[in-house]
Chains A and B, each alone.
Chain A
Amino acid sequence: MADGLIDQVRAAAGQGRRLRIRGGGTKDWYGEQPADADAATVLDTRGHAGIVEYDPSELVVTARCGTPLADLEATLAASGQMLACEPPHFGSGATVGGCVAAGLSGPRRATAGSIRDFVLGAKLINGRGQHLSFGGRVIKNVAGYDVSRLLAGSLGILGVITEVSLKVVPAPVAETTLRFDGIAQAEAIRRLNHWAGQPLPLSASAWSGDTLHLRLSGAAAAVRSATTALGGEVLDAPSAATFWLALREQSAPFFAGDAPLWRLSVPSWTPPLLPGGHSQDAPPDMLVEWGGALRWMRSTLPAETMRAAARDAGGHATLFRRGSLSDAQASGIEAAGCFSPLDPALLRIHQRLKAEFDPAGVFNHGRLYPGL
């Protein structure tokens, strides 16, 4: 089934050509965009599609890389199940392989876990054109190194993910979204961390513009009692669904604009971040997700300013979207790289892993870090 992909990889490796692995292309903009990226041949994964196995009573689904993410979700929904981490699609063509390789998780991340937490197994074509199988289709498995989880967020630099097995979860019986107005960022962060330390059925949070949204999911009784305990205004179900979808897909008004979009991943209790000399009284406009652990900011500040703010808090900053900048500004930010630089010892391990999986550097050259 994956023969076509294997042949393309072998041919490229044999001829010293580079490949750019691509599913629906919905996340083309994510990650480094090396100058020589256009020289790479596109390896289109969409032909390798379909759900291989799905038994709802096993809580496991196995799908080929080119399977549209929307199709997978529809199949799960038909059995009352879902992907726990609510991954973003960023376009109608998003594929399962791209979802895992990008490693991005949605609003449910802070309480449910990330996409890597749900990867149970994967098949991979490495740079030698070998089709390898790691992990499996069972929930617990510690045979060999956990290579399949390593592939989540690898941005394709280790090889072509041809198939993944994911643990899925039952969709919650009940769900309610609460809205709290007139809450400053610092207060929102304080409350979110306080609530997270209590046995409440939290499943998502979002703060921006002095409004805090909180989603509760779970058993009907638990959601009901938490709703009473927390107060706030209850959103009607369609508005709530629209709200969380717009957050997940970044179509919410906050995400509009031309300035680069920074993703700051920090410990959840970190007080409002103040890059570029803002004061605590007037923190910059941010959107806070994941119980405080994820902060989004549109900013033209220098990359190092953003990085330092995240680093000082014990986190890291990613240039998530470039926006439409002037060439000069863009080149400054480009030079600093999308992802926070790695500590030298970690970088060495990355380089050696890349060499072990993809010795000739066939795959997604430079997409994660220059040289990888």
Chain B
Amino acid sequence: MDTPAAASIDREALVSRLQALLPDGSVLHTDEAQRPYECDGLTLFRQLPLATVLPSTESELLAVVAVCREAGVPIVPRGAGTGLSGGATPHAQGVLLSTAKMSAILAIDPVARTARVQPGVRNLAISEAAARHGLYYAPDPSSQIACSIGGNVAENSGGVHCLKYGLTVHNVLRVRAVTIDGDVVEFGSGALDGPGLDLLAVLVGSEGMLAITTEVTVKLIPRPQVARCIMASFDDVGVAGDAVAKLIAAGIIPAGLEMMDQPATRMVEPFANAGYDLDAASILLCEADGTPEEVEEEIARMSEVLRAAGATGLRVSTSEAERLRFWAGRKNAFPAAGRVSPDYYCMDGTIPRRRLGEMLRAIQQMEAKYEMRCPNVFHAGDGNLHPLILFDANDPSSLARAEAFGVDILELCVKLGGTVTGEHGVGIEKINQMCVQFPADEREQFFGVKRAFDPHGLLNPGKCIPTLHRCAEYGRMKVHGGELPHPGLERF
């Protein structure tokens, strides 16, 4: 499935068929008009598609799917294009399908505590619309002002509050989607379960490879009365890592539990004025939320554990403004990286929490080996790492080193019993590392799942699951010196 089934496609004929189906301005085909769609958040990979379509309704979307199916043309769905693994990178012989015009909030039901929205709705817009009922949508990726709920479903996105409130998969009740066969299918329901296999569980996180989401019903939860956040300083990253394990072992599930090392706090502070302790080797942000009494109790318990675990200083937010400042720093880590370096490469491995110290030490050694800087921010409570490798894409040597650095990190994650991606997805970026994480039989079973939903392999082909052939190639490349030839070239 690396290469699409389609042999040769008459681009002009395809464009005119699509234009006949969609309103004016909904089919883009010039290079200039399509330029904004040539990449997602993984800007290393750029590709213009044959055409870009922006359906406004499900029936327009169905019409596009029918044309593409009949012509054997691949479809790549795209939400807001903030994905970091190239999941929405266009296909050279395919159509890019943007949900930008499907961005209506269809219903907010305060009694059922649900929101029914179109796929292009921004994550934060849901919580904003629900706010007047005292409700919100819990998963809060740092990109929440921009990313779409359709993209969240496709990536099973997480956020800084997911340790307590769950990932996208835990907060979505129903997904309505169009299959490549042209069926409109409802996965899940307004009830807490549905008959048959739990296909919703597979659809979430499927990176646009199984079906195209046209409507999502999410769970809304009551906004906690109060939230307060502790900023704990540590003079050693390993000690901070152990403190995380101690909090959890003490039976505490903080509403948020994030870690930043000193290079990260120093990178962020001038940008976000978060008030971080810049002398600390690393800081932990630990949030408690709930009723005022509950929060008092939990802040006291957390403070006690953190102190016993070796925190050199604790600061508890005394106002909502201060709490939000603590988080603003964390949530702006990626943009801050973009400010201090021409380019940055965001890794997303997850490891068992107890290996955190080990991982951090290894990353420090890699910084020396590749002569590059790598500030670290983590969803520490989840063991989900976001090392940010700073590099310069215009310098081929810098790019090559950054890529090799990233590969080292990901493969170490697998070795430590973790995974190459905790929330950003495989896309095209981590497809080679899937060969390291999964043996051939597992990968073949994944293709089986793909075929069950998309027998012709037309939805987002070549992503997420590597073919046997590709893994054999990757194995050979690793044998020959460990570095990829022509690292700047497309590899999909």
A-side residues, CB < 8 A to B, are 55-60, 80-81, 103, 109-110, 113-114, 116-117, 126, 130, 132-134, 136-147, 149-150, 152-154, 157-158, 169-171, 173, 193, 196-201, 218-222, 224-226, 265-269, 290, 293-294, 314-316, 318, 339-343, 345-350, 352-353, 355-357, 368-369
Contacts and interface: CB of A to CB of B under 8 A. Distances in A.
A58 B381 CA distance: 9
Nearest to B383: A138
Contacts of A347: 196
Interface stretch (B16-24, B110-118, B339-347): B110-118
Counting from the closest, the 5 A-B pairs by CB-CB distance are A356-B448, A221-B293, A170-B251, A345-B183, A149-B201
A269 B110 CA distance: 11
A117 B196 contact: no
B419 A143 contact: yes
Nearest to B352: A58
A144 B465 contact: yes
B358 interface: no
B438 interface: yes
Given A144-B438, A266-B191, A356-B452, 18 more contacts: A55-B354, A132-B442, A136-B418, A138-B351, A143-B419, A143-B420, A144-B442, A147-B445, A154-B198, A157-B197, A173-B251, A193-B111, A197-B222, A219-B293, A219-B297, A293-B191, A353-B452, A356-B448
Nearest to A195: B222
B167 A140 contact: yes
Nearest to A121: B419
B463 to A, nearest CB: 11
Given A139-B383, A140-B384, A144-B465, A267 B199 contact: no
Contacts of B162: 140
Interface stretch (B37-45, B202-210, B317-325, B366-374): B202-210
Contacts of B455: 352
A269 B199 CA distance: 24
A316 B193 CA distance: 9
26 contacts: A56-B249, A58-B248, A103-B198, A114-B192, A138-B350, A140-B384, A142-B426, A143-B437, A144-B426, A145-B210, A145-B449, A146-B204, A154-B197, A193-B112, A197-B134, A197-B135, A199-B222, A219-B290, A225-B291, A226-B291, A315-B191, A339-B195, A339-B196, A340-B195, A345-B184, A346-B196
Nearest to B437: A143
A198 B222 contact: yes
Interface in B412-453: 417-426, 430, 434, 437-438, 441-443, 445-446, 448-453
Nearest to B419: A141
Interface in B326-348: none
Contacts of B418: 136, 138, 141
A143 B421 CA distance: 6
Contacts of A348: 181, 183
A55 B291 CA distance: 30
B389 to A, nearest CB: 20
A356 B449 CA distance: 7
A143 B426 contact: yes
Contact of A350 (B191, B196, B204): B196
Nearest to B384: A140
B394 interface: no
Contacts of A220: 297
A113 B170 contact: yes
Contacts of A222: 290-291, 293-294
Contacts of B437: 143-144
Contacts of A117: 166, 169-170
Nearest to A155: B197
B8 interface: no
Nearest to A135: B419
Interface residues of B, number: 96
Interface string B253-291: 100000000000000000000000000000000000011
Contact of A353 (B294, B449, B465): B449
B155 interface: yes
Nearest to B424: A142
A148 B253 CA distance: 24
Contacts of B163: 139
Contacts of B294: 201, 218-219, 221-222, 225
B490 to A, nearest CB: 22
B140 interface: no
Nearest to A128: B441
B423 A142 contact: yes
Contacts of B426: 142-144
A133 B437 CA distance: 10
A342 B185 CA distance: 11
Contacts of B170: 113, 117
Contacts of A267: 112, 189-191
A318 B192 CA distance: 13
Contacts of A226: 291
A345 B167 CA distance: 27
A352 B195 CA distance: 17
B141 to A, nearest CB: 12
A57 B248 contact: yes
A116 B254 CA distance: 22
Interface in B158-192: 158, 162-163, 166-167, 169-170, 179, 181, 183-187, 189-192
A152 B183 CA distance: 25
Contact of B189 (A114, A126, A130, A316): A316
Among B185, B193, B383, B442, chain A packs the most CB atoms within 10 A around the CB of B193
